[in-house]
Chains A and B, each alone.
Chain A
Amino acid sequence: MEQLTTIGLNHYLTISAILLCLGLFAVMTRKNAIVILMGVELILNAANINFLAFSKYNGGMEGVMISLFVIVLAAAEAAIALAIVINIFKIFKSVDVSSIDSMKE
């Protein structure tokens, strides 16, 4: 019962695992580049939740610090990714990732 009533580490971890899977699912299945980038954000946030949860339960500050940096990183990454996607759209007139496959094999 305690497992269900008290919010413990495992709940955080479960949430983060679900987030991770959702993120991966998005990256793997969605056509739209923007949505894929959102999936990536989900993955990073899953990691963030883990760090924070562990930080809380382990009693150290490192996890908090890392998650802060990861958030910043995610922002930077998003900026660059958007720039690239915009450029892609300029050239290919599409942000459908599955259609951009001129180089293969």
Chain B
Amino acid sequence: MFELPSGAEIQGIIASLEASVGFFIPELYLSVLFMLLIVVDLFAKGRKNNLLSITTLLGLAGSIFFIYQQHSMQPGEFFFGMYVLDEFALFFKYLFVISAMIAVVITMADEQFDREVKSIGEYYALIVAMLIGMIMMASSADLMMIILSMELVSLTAYILTGYFKRDPRSSEAALKYLVYGAVSSGLMIYGFSLIYGLTAQTNLIKISAELSAHGYDPVVMILASLIVLAGFGYKIGAVPFHFWSPDVYEGAPTPITAYLSVASKASGFALLMRFFYIAVPHVVNPYEDIIGIDWVSLLIILSIASMIYGNVVALWQKNVKRLLAYSSIAHAGYLLLGIIVMDQLGTQATLFYLLSYFLVNFGAFYVVILIANKTGSENLDDYRGLGKRMPLAGAALTVFLISLVGLPPTVGFIGKLMIFSALLAKGSLYIWLALIGVMTSVISLYYYMLIPLNMYLRDSEQHGEKNMDSGMLAKVLMALLMILTLYFGLFFQPLSDFAKYSSAMFGVKLY
């Protein structure tokens, strides 16, 4: 049935592979780092080894150099269309690498690790592995790469979630994550198989061309789209595919929660955007799309449900991590708004929002960790009176939360501004979406402000003389994140320009 390739063809394949490897250096480098970390771990046995974490940090920092070099490369496909390199992917590479670095840093700060695990062991290696998976998710242009990279991310995430083996909540979270994730990705793969069946292609661009050229059976296409969407929805944590996320965020080690809520979610968005923009045929006006795969209305429902559900349910949360989990569901809704408009401005807005969310969410989780180190709790009630005892942490957390609400002068406000601008730039078409967006953000104010409310407006019951100093390094980092949040809220041009630059995606032209 299949003919073996001739020698010349093999030569060509080898040449192509050799050429492609040149575009794959950061990933290769990170893979080396991954293995190196395992080796280092073997040598350096320790409860919480700074050597290991610093190696990770340095290694990750080194990868930025390689990623930076890719700017000069021509955007394009390689590895036979399996993989692309474009500004869009580069954006996410930076985002993920820095996320991983921050995850490492806040892991170093988290004292829970000292209590829970004997050895930090392969923890950092797993973070790097997850990073590789996410980078590949952002660059995949082929169904097979998508499956592989997504599974890489998922599998490492399961392990990291359950990393506190003796903590029942951590284990429970891992199990739930595992079952839900496995089913979702299984369904997604099944959906891919249907798409493959319809088009006989696995490359996104080719799928798009095939669908446009020959048409398709709408019922099958709906089914395939829906179950693929289930997989993506699970990754971005959007309603109604969000169910895993509150439990997992609550149970996972806090650095992992932060990492998941920012980087993993962003990778899901990267994938969604690429798949959505490229593989799905659409014309400029989404309402003229072929019935049956009206992805825009699919995403609209997803988005509205996320914004409302996330914000409304968050009102009742007593655990700060869980509260932030629901908030992250809501933010997935806002991010989807930017994708819905399906134009260059929307993409730019989404990317900007991701940046702001990345900055702020890490900041918030970092402070939560620092507070948990001192109080040993993530419960809202235990935040009482903290504003006085930890003034900088309180101030920083307040700034982060304000940014999450989307109030000036924080970067979160600019994010919302960009998203709503993208919506309103379409004229009156999406005004109602913007209305839901702003209304739900008012609701969100209430639960976000519960934290400053407890920190400042209420006095704590116990007057422990406990040392509440979180250390110089932590303070500097906290202050840095806070100042960045404020600075980019006022002078957001660099971020925004970067987002604009990064909105260029190979294989599709956005207007």
Q: Which residues of A are interface residues toward B (Cβ below 8 A)?
A: 13, 16, 20, 23-24, 27, 33, 36-37, 40, 43-44, 46-48, 50-51, 53-55, 58-63, 65-66, 69-70, 73, 76-77, 80-81, 83-85, 87-88, 90-92, 97, 100, 102-105
- Answer whether A43 and B175 are a contact pair too, CB < 8 Å, given A51-B193, A54-B197, A91-B166: no
**Which of B171, B190, B192 interacts with A43 by CB under 8 Å?**
B190
B192 and A47 form a contact (CB under 8 A): yes
- Give the complex CA separation of A99 and B2 in angstroms: 51
**Which of B147, B175, B176, B183 interacts with A69 by CB under 8 Å?**
B147
- Give the complex CA separation of A81 and B247 in angstroms: 18
B155 and A76 form a contact (CB under 8 A): yes
> Within 8 Å of chain A (Cβ to Cβ): is B196?
yes
CB distance from B404 to the nearest CB of A (A): 21
A103 and B246 form a contact (CB under 8 A): yes
A54 and B193 form a contact (CB under 8 A): yes
Residues facing A in B199-240 (CB within 8 A) are 200-202
Complex interface: chain A residues within 8 A of B1 (CB)? 59
> Within 8 Å of chain A (Cβ to Cβ): is B41?
no
Measured CB to CB, the nearest residue on chain B to A89 is: B171
A103 and B251 form a contact (CB under 8 A): yes
B190 and A87 form a contact (CB under 8 A): no
A62 and B196 form a contact (CB under 8 A): yes
Main secondary structure of the interface of A (DSSP, over half): helix
- Answer whether A77 and B247 are a contact pair too, CB < 8 Å, given A40-B179, A87-B165, A91-B166: no
A24 and B183 form a contact (CB under 8 A): yes
> Within 8 Å of chain A (Cβ to Cβ): is B323?
no
Ordered by A's residue number, 27 sampled pairs between the chains whose C-beta atoms are within 8 Å are A13-B197, A20-B190, A40-B179, A43-B190, A47-B189, A50-B193, A54-B196, A54-B200, A58-B200, A59-B1, A62-B143, A66-B143, A66-B196, A69-B147, A76-B155, A80-B155, A81-B158, A81-B178, A84-B158, A88-B175, A92-B171, A100-B175, A100-B176, A103-B169, A103-B173, A103-B246, A103-B250
CB distance from A1 to the nearest CB of B (A): 24
Complex interface: chain B residues within 8 A of A50 (CB)? 190, 193-194, 196-197
> Within 8 Å of chain A (Cβ to Cβ): is B162?
yes
Main secondary structure of the interface of B (DSSP, over half): helix
Interface size range of chain B in the complex: 35 or more
> Within 8 Å of chain A (Cβ to Cβ): is B159?
yes
Measured CB to CB, the nearest residue on chain B to A68 is: B144
A102 and B197 form a contact (CB under 8 A): no
A62 and B171 form a contact (CB under 8 A): no
Complex interface: chain A residues within 8 A of B171 (CB)? 84, 87-88, 91-92
Instruction: Write out, one digit per residue, whether chain B residues 167-185 have a CB within 8 A of any chain A CB (1) or not (0).
Output: 0110111111011001100
A87 and B187 form a contact (CB under 8 A): no
Complex interface: chain A residues within 8 A of B189 (CB)? 43-44, 47, 70
B169 and A102 form a contact (CB under 8 A): yes
- Give the complex CA separation of A76 and B152 in angstroms: 10
Complex interface: chain A residues within 8 A of B166 (CB)? 91
B168 and A91 form a contact (CB under 8 A): yes
Measured CB to CB, the nearest residue on chain A to B200 is: A58
CB distance from A80 to the nearest CB of B (A): 5
Complex interface: chain B residues within 8 A of A91 (CB)? 166, 168, 171
A73 and B147 form a contact (CB under 8 A): yes
**Which of B144, B172, B197 interacts with A88 by CB under 8 Å?**
B172
